[in-house]
Amino acid sequence: MTSFLLVHGSWHGAWCWEKLIPFLDSAGHVVLAVDLPGHGDDKTPAAEVTLASYGRAVCRGARSLPPPVVAVGHSMGGWAVSQAAGLSVSEIAGDRVRATLDGALETDEANACTRIRNGMAREIFYGDCSQEDAVRAEARLGPDPVAPITAPIRLSDERYGRIPRAYIECTRDRILPLESQRAMVASAGCRETATLTTGHSPFLAAPAELAERLTDLASRLLAGAATGRDA
């Protein structure tokens, strides 16, 4: 049995994992999906949200679960979990990602957040999802605090360096081109990878396949850690 801690990405909340969770449950795993500060049901004002507060939310969730715990971060949630490579999210994402999102974003400077323009989410997030899932998800998107996305990330070999890491690449992702995903895999030092032929939201488009990939990767990472390969 593995405990999975599910951490959503920008503009989303714990709700985005609702189709995946039953598949992990049925495989006998313990599952917890958390709302990062300022997202979902968490009402922290965006101006008060920091990258450190994201990290504390992830740690609280992990401590509440029985070991071994595997943290699963989607998109921005990956930085909340791993705080990869000492760069900000915007630096790693690159110009192509910003170009994809620029026309879809509304900046709310007064509240220190961004929002996705009405009618834009289907194209960039949910292109391979059902109409029902896309409409439901778009209606639930919320604001995304600006500060954590631009904050520099600092890691240590003593903590981050000891944790085995894996990545699931999505070959049809319109936010993160495949070459950008693979650059992140290399910079983060991922030992294991898997592939899904989906867009940016496999938790809605292919939840059963995603559960299979997560279960397999968790097994491989934990086995490697047990033998000292990833220590």
Average pLDDT, the chain: 88
Which pLDDT score, from 0 to 100, does residue 38 have?
Answer: 98
Which pLDDT score, from 0 to 100, does residue 142 have?
Answer: 97
Strands, E assignment, 94-182: 105-108, 113-116, 144-145, 166-170
Read off the pLDDT of each residue in 105-113 and give the average, rounded to a whole number.
95
- Reference 80, options 113, 39, 120; nearest CA is 39
Enumerate the domain spans of the chain.
3-227
Read off the pLDDT of each residue in 12-31 and give the average, rounded to a whole number.
98
Domain 3-227 has CATH 3.40.50.1820: yes
Q: How far apart are CA 81 and CA 54, in angstroms?
A: 8
Cα angle: 190, vertex 196, 197; to 5 degrees: 140
The model's pTM? 0.91
Give whole-number Cα distances, 155 to 78, 79, 84, 160, in Å.
14, 11, 7, 6
Query: Residue 80 — pLDDT band, cuts 50, 70, 90?
Result: confident
199-223: burial string, b at 16+ Cβ within 10 Å, e else:
bbbbbbbbbebbbebbbebbebbbe
Eight-state DSSP code of residue 68: S
Q: Which residue has the higher pLDDT, 19 or 190?
A: 19
Q: Are 231 and 225 in contact (CB under 8 A)?
A: yes
Eight-state DSSP code of residue 117: P
Phi, psi at 104, each rounded to 5°: -95, -10
Comparing 89-93, 181-185, 212-216, the range with the smallest average pLDDT is 89-93
The string of DSSP letters for 13-64 reads -GGGGTTTHHHHHHTT-EEEEEPPTTSTT----GGG--HHHHHHHHHHHHHT
- Reference 37, options 24, 25, 54, 20; nearest CA is 54
Which pLDDT score, from 0 to 100, does residue 96 have?
Answer: 55
Which pLDDT score, from 0 to 100, does residue 155 have?
Answer: 62
Read off the pLDDT of each residue in 90-105 and give the average, rounded to a whole number.
64
Which pLDDT score, from 0 to 100, does residue 46 have?
Answer: 96
Comparing 33-42, 80-89, 128-137, 146-155, the range with the smallest average pLDDT is 80-89
Q: What percent of the chain has pLDDT over 70?
A: 85
Comparing 43-52, 131-140, 178-187, 210-219, the range with the smallest average pLDDT is 178-187
Strands, E assignment, the chain: 3-7, 30-34, 69-73, 105-108, 113-116, 144-145, 166-170, 192-196
- Tell whether the model's pLDDT for residue 30 goes beyond 90: yes
Give whole-number Cα distances, 24 to 68, 78, 153, 215, in Å.
15, 19, 31, 8
- Tell whether the model's pLDDT for residue 115 goes beyond 60: yes
Query: Residue 85 — pLDDT band, cuts 50, 70, 90?
Result: very low
- Tell whether the model's pLDDT for residue 131 goes beyond 80: yes
- Tell whether the model's pLDDT for residue 203 goes beyond 80: yes
